[in-house]
Amino acid sequence: MRQLVYDDDFKEIVNEKIKYWQNVSDIPKKVKDYITSLSNELIFRTYNDEYGYKDYCSNCLKELDVNHYCEHCQKSYTNLNKKYIIYLSQKYISDMKYICFYTYVFDVVDDEVILYNIENQLNYDHLAPLKYKESTLSIANIYDVKKDYLYERINGDTLEYSQIEAFFNNPEVEEKFTNTYIEFCFPSNSNQFLYTDNLDELKKSALYKYSQIWELKDKFNDNDFTLSSITYNPIYCKEFEYLIKMQLYNLAIDCSKINFGKGKNFKDIFGIDKKYYKFMKDIDITSEQFDLLKMYPTTDLALLEFISKGIYAFEVLKEYVKLEDLKKYIESQEDSENHIRRYISDYYDYINGLIMLGADLKDKKVLYPKNFYEEHDRVSAEVMIVENPNLDQKIHNLSNILSLNVYENDEYIIFPADSISSMIDESSQQQNCVRTYCERVGENDCQIYFMRDKNAKDKSLVTVEVRDGKVVQARTKFNKDIDSRQRKFLSDWEKVMIPIIKGDN
Ligand SMILES: [Zn+2]
């Protein structure tokens, strides 16, 4: 492409080759076609706390039906892989002027690599690239800048404006870089794309010629990329090239976040035995999975997924149990598939409790009790008693006095908590936090009573908190409100209740 411009002395008009795209018409047709094909397929997705997500037509912003069909535009969205889904908050959907997406495009000009960032605002019918200076990154300029700063900038997800200012106020960051970089879009991952058809061109450039970045074409095309994986990593990290040659593509994409060891052999560099290499390659291991693998070497992918649900707990637990066995055990517990994380953190508590009580952790019956929560609660109660030797006695003594307030009608009975165990049991049955009230109850700062069905006295029904002779809280399971019959019972009880104030006992 050529353009007519004045020569340097402003004397003659000359026919000069265009180096940089300055407006929409400079963008090659293939790139424009690519962007158009994207905008035709994109859908917007919003997450809703309780009901999952909703999908919207990117053309008219109306909600799509279950088959991803837009009645308004009479259009079906069929390409539903992650590349075409843009996550937005509801606020942006209702205020469409902010909706845009970005396409990165590499270009090589006179040995210099340029990265363009083309903005496409969907509410206009056409491409709206930012002004040239603000939308291009000269990779050579990046290369000039001190790499630590660059790393922070590029790997930071979203930065506050003050952080950006602090970065650019640093005298070590060159002005020419500042000018092109400050307006450059930083990745948010879901609304950016990379044009990959010309990645081979980078073989011609001095900076990228050894990088092997073109081997990542398929991954980049699926939108597995970050700004660092196309700029910082291939240029600064020598591991990038090697990881690609080893077919560890996901690690290459994230390589600047990984601490590789020094040394010549696989184990020194990766911190794990070479026998795991095939597994790593087969699953194209991610940097998150790699961290887990180093912590607990295994070729069981499901086990790694399990470990990812409670990394900090497992770092301790792996000293006491084989995580393979623990996974099987937890999976055998009631309703565990929906509560894996809760089971893991409660199991962690359980083991810590056992350690404190000096239990035999070699005993399989101790490690894997038949009914986990029953044992868990028993251990919690014991731990609390050991930690507060007088507390259990205090609660018990107080309950003898509070028993003056035992009350019943035809249907219900109400009686005071009489031990730490009774409160932990109530807490567990009701899924509430009454177990944390033990100290307050022991000090008679408040009183806890259990209201139950007369013919099911062991089964929790309503947990009642009393202060100064008044009911201040009465909740059923999961902290739900009580019904009108239960309320009537409690108000009848309140009328005859003897207030037992702190200091009276
Ligand atoms: Zn539509």
**How far apart are the CA of 65 and the centre of ligand 1, in A?**
11
Does 469 lie in the same domain as 402?
yes
Helix (H) or strand (E) holding 15: strand 13-17
Three-class SS state of 445:
coil
Position 318 confidence tier, pLDDT thresholds 50, 70, 90: very high
356-366 average pLDDT score: 89
Position 14 confidence tier, pLDDT thresholds 50, 70, 90: low
**How far apart are the CA of 189 and the centre of ligand 1, in A?**
24
C-alpha count within 13 angstroms, C-beta hemisphere, residue 172: 8
**How far apart are the CA of 100 and the centre of ligand 1, in A?**
16
Does 469 lie in the same domain as 414?
yes
Q: Is residue 17 part of a domain?
A: no
**How far apart are the CA of 72 and the centre of ligand 1, in A?**
5
Least confident span in 62-71, 105-114, 407-416: 105-114
The answer to whether 134 and 160 are in contact (CB under 8 A) is: no
Q: Is residue 373 part of a domain?
A: no
**How far apart are the CA of 39 and the centre of ligand 1, in A?**
12
pLDDT at position 284 is: 96
Helix (H) or strand (E) holding 402: helix 391-402
Does 142 lie in the same domain as 88?
no
**How far apart are the CA of 4 and the centre of ligand 1, in A?**
43
Q: Indicate if the pLDDT at residue 8 is higher than 80.
A: no
Does 287 lie in the same domain as 236?
no
Looking at 80, 98, 116, the residue that finishes a domain is: 98
**How far apart are the CA of 71 and the centre of ligand 1, in A?**
7
**How far apart are the CA of 62 and the centre of ligand 1, in A?**
6
Q: Is residue 376 part of a domain?
A: no
Looking at 58, 79, 98, the residue that finishes a domain is: 98
* Mean pLDDT, the chain, whole residue set: 82
Does 143 lie in the same domain as 288?
no
pLDDT at position 493 is: 95
70-77 average pLDDT score: 91
Q: Is residue 483 part of a domain?
A: yes
**How far apart are the CA of 69 and the centre of ligand 1, in A?**
8
Q: What percent of the chain has pLDDT over 90?
A: 42
**How far apart are the CA of 116 and the centre of ligand 1, in A?**
30
**Residue that wins the pLDDT comparison between 133 and 463:** 463
The answer to whether 255 and 243 are in contact (CB under 8 A) is: yes
Does 124 lie in the same domain as 253?
yes
**Residue that wins the pLDDT comparison between 50 and 34:** 34
Position 145 confidence tier, pLDDT thresholds 50, 70, 90: very low
Does 309 lie in the same domain as 410?
no
Does 313 lie in the same domain as 288?
no
Q: Is residue 202 part of a domain?
A: yes
**How far apart are the CA of 190 and the centre of ligand 1, in A?**
20
Place of tokens 């099987």: 328
Q: Indicate if the pLDDT at residue 304 is higher than 90.
A: yes
Q: Give residue 450's domain range.
A: 391-496
**How far apart are the CA of 77 and the centre of ligand 1, in A?**
10
**How far apart are the CA of 341 and the centre of ligand 1, in A?**
39
Does 179 lie in the same domain as 79?
no
pLDDT at position 132 is: 42
Q: Is residue 310 part of a domain?
A: yes
pLDDT at position 222 is: 86
**Residue that wins the pLDDT comparison between 207 and 154:** 207
Q: Indicate if the pLDDT at residue 153 is higher than 70.
A: no
**How far apart are the CA of 60 and the centre of ligand 1, in A?**
4
**How far apart are the CA of 88 and the centre of ligand 1, in A?**
17
The answer to whether 451 and 476 are in contact (CB under 8 A) is: no
Phi first, then psi: what are they for 35, rounded to 5°? -65, -40
Q: For the chain, how many structural domains are there in total?
A: 5
The answer to whether 220 and 233 are in contact (CB under 8 A) is: no
Who contacts 232 (Cβ-Cβ below 8 Å, separation ≥6)?
142, 147, 150, 151, 154, 155, 256
Instruction: List, for residues 20-42, the tens digit of each pLDDT value.
Output: 777 777 788 898 889 888 888 88
Q: Is residue 67 part of a domain?
A: yes
**How far apart are the CA of 27 and the centre of ligand 1, in A?**
28
Position 51 confidence tier, pLDDT thresholds 50, 70, 90: low
**How far apart are the CA of 23 and the centre of ligand 1, in A?**
29
**How far apart are the CA of 86 and the centre of ligand 1, in A?**
15
Does 171 lie in the same domain as 51?
no
Q: Is residue 10 part of a domain?
A: no
Position 429 confidence tier, pLDDT thresholds 50, 70, 90: confident
Position 205 confidence tier, pLDDT thresholds 50, 70, 90: confident
Does 235 lie in the same domain as 106?
yes
Structure tokens at 349: 């508590």
Does 141 lie in the same domain as 83?
no
